Homo-oligomer: A and B are copies of this chain.
Amino acid sequence: MEQQDVVGIAAALDGLTEHWSPKVVARVNDQYVKVAKLLGELVWHAHDDEDELFLVVSGRLRIQLEGRDEVRLGPGELFVVPRGVRHNPIAEEEVRIVLVETVTTAHTGSVVVERTRSIEEQLGR
């Protein structure tokens, strides 16, 4: 990631080879902007102190939320999962997204699964 470069979202997404493996493409203040490809289901988890923004670029994303109706996002739609709310993203087809989340946010919260990616992996280090 080069902070001061122009980032093409489609090109960054095209560069991803793995599902559920976000890559950092920019930083704005204390937030990372990431791109990811999703397919299937991640895992129920929460981020106790951090909101997480999902913006769908292509495909349709379901986000199951504890204690309320799931949300469904199509291209050009965004949703912020509030801090502390357990959630589970589900992509029945391949979904390409942009994420905005605090630099300290752990991928799957306190839940660690095979798909969990460290921030070093997300930074491509």
A contacts with B: majority SS: strand
On whether A10 and B78 interact (CB within 8 A), knowing A28-B100, A53-B28, the answer reads no
Question: Which A residues between 1 and 50 are near B, CB-CB below 8 angstroms?
Answer: 3-10, 25-31, 33, 50
CA distance A54 to B31 in the complex (A): 14
CA distance A51 to B77 in the complex (A): 24
On whether A80 and B4 interact (CB within 8 A), knowing A26-B53, A53-B26, A100-B100, the answer reads yes
Q: Counting CB contacts under 8 A, is A94 at the interface? A: no
| Chain B residue contacts of A9, Cβ below 8 A | 55, 76-78
Mark A residues whose CB is within 8 Å of B. 3-10, 25-31, 33, 50-53, 55, 68, 71-73, 76-80, 82, 100-102
| Chain B residue contacts of A5, Cβ below 8 A | 79
On whether A30 and B27 interact (CB within 8 A), knowing A77-B6, A77-B8, A82-B3, the answer reads no
